[in-house]
Structure 1
Amino acid sequence: MARGDRSPRGEHADRVRNALLEAALDLFSANGYDETTTDQIADSAGVSPRTFFRYFPTKESVLFFGEYDFIDAVSGVYLAQPEELSDFEAMANSFALLAPGLKRIRKRIAQYHEAVASSLVLLGRERRNHEANAETVAKVIAERRRLPSPDSECHLLASIGMLLTERAVNQWLAAPGRALDDLIRQEFAALPAVLK
């Protein structure tokens, strides 16, 4: 179904999901992740605790909702990059091209970072997610190189790309006046100069 053809039920579900997500992030920012309960999130969103569990199986799942969307989008853009670009250049382009889409959810990303920093459990989960995302990127690098599976170079390049993007995101959150795509390009451009 096209986005313009959304049913009233689907639109209502999106509104409730977004209200729960925003309430959770606000509470996590104010009180810390570990101190926030699902009942508090539901109450803040104006729904029952039972409704909360219709949308999210756990408190943690609210925080990590949509976590793989960006990396999946990067994968598609990466595979569409011109062949004359190196894998490193193609990765820089891919992350930078998708970065402007994150501007509208900047506050949400900042709250996510705050929530993760407030909990050792979430820091561990974030580390696992980072590794899973790097694995996804390594697979598309292998696909672009026409390899049956990622080799050590693919894994190294993916890890470097994720690190450079993470550094750019942290700078963007700390200095809101700067464009994330510019920061990503700057981080990727700085690495070859450092290695000389």
Structure 2
Amino acid sequence: MSARPTRGRPPRTTRRALEEIALDLFAEHGFDETTVERIASEAGVSERTFFRYFPSKVEVLWAQFDYEVKRLREAFAAVPADEPMMSAVRRIVVEANHYRAEDVPELRNRMQLLSSVPALAAGAGAHYDAWERAVGEFAASRLGASPDDLLPLAVGRTTLAAARAAFDAWLSRGDADLTIYLDQALAALARGFAPEDAPVG
């Protein structure tokens, strides 16, 4: 039998609904203090239903990140042949991180949790590896190389590092849209971190 919904909520069983409820509870009570039982109860569903969508409460926080990896792969598959590799990487990563103003508080909450909760940081590797791999495989296709060759690995890893730096700067300052930070970081990466007005060649 499903748990009774609290606060008069009707049962909400979509993956996104469970994600939103969990994030609200994490923000209100803390990640460690929020149990799967509490999330399921708030949603008016059973714990079994929760686990149908998420293998653990940790994976709730990575759901949108994993969806971004899927979008990156789809976008890289459609890059025009004449678009330079790093220009395409920059454009696609920035486009994948356009958020509506009403979604920004949730994004901030999610990213702050991912960076501050040890249990979440410990499990980050597989998710970051998938993101990095998406970029590296695109680079490999452009370079005529294997994704495990040096240069595709370097492109994937340095792009991820630049994007994470942009997120960290955005979280700590919040004085501009996230895409501005990402665009600046990836543009600097593409020119080898030389000053913008440095001569080419």
TM over 0.5: yes
TM-superposed CA distance for 1:117, in Å, is: 3.4
Match of 2:105 in 1: 107
Match of 1:7 in 2: none
Match of 2:139 in 1: 141
Match of 1:178 in 2: 176
Structure 2: distance between partners of 1:152 and 1:102: 37
Structure 2: distance between partners of 1:170 and 1:179: 13
Structure 2: distance between partners of 1:13 and 1:195: 55
Match of 1:3 in 2: none
Match of 1:68 in 2: 66
For the aligned residue pairs, the C-alpha RMSD in angstroms reads 2.8
Match of 1:151 in 2: 149
**Under a length normalisation based on structure 1, what TM-score does the superposition of the two structures give?**
0.77
**Under a length normalisation based on structure 2, what TM-score does the superposition of the two structures give?**
0.75
TM-superposed CA distance for 1:135, in Å, is: 1.9
Change (3 A) 1:136 1:189: closer
Change (3 A) 1:57 1:157: closer
Kept after mapping to 1: 8 A contact 2:12/2:43 = no
Kept after mapping to 1: 8 A contact 2:11/2:43 = no
Kept after mapping to 2: 8 A contact 1:134/1:159 = yes
* Residues 1-196 of structure 1 aligned to structure 2 (within 5 Å): 16-101=14-99, 105-176=103-174, 178-191=176-189, 192=191, 194-195=193-194
TM-superposed CA distance for 1:78, in Å, is: 2.7
Kept after mapping to 2: 8 A contact 1:79/1:144 = no
Kept after mapping to 2: 8 A contact 1:34/1:118 = no
TM-superposed CA distance for 1:156, in Å, is: 0.7
Structure 1: distance between partners of 2:137 and 2:151: 11
Change (3 A) 1:13 1:129: farther
Structure 2: distance between partners of 1:107 and 1:101: 10
Cα deviation 1:11-36 (Å, max 9, x = unaligned): x9986322321221122223332222
Q: Give the total of aligned pairs.
A: 185
What secondary structure is seen at the aligned counterpart in 2 of 1:39?
Answer: helix
Structure 1 unpaired stretches of 5+ = 1-11
The one-letter code sitting in structure 1 at the alignment partner of 2:160 is: M
Structure 2 unpaired stretches of 5+ = 1-9, 196-201
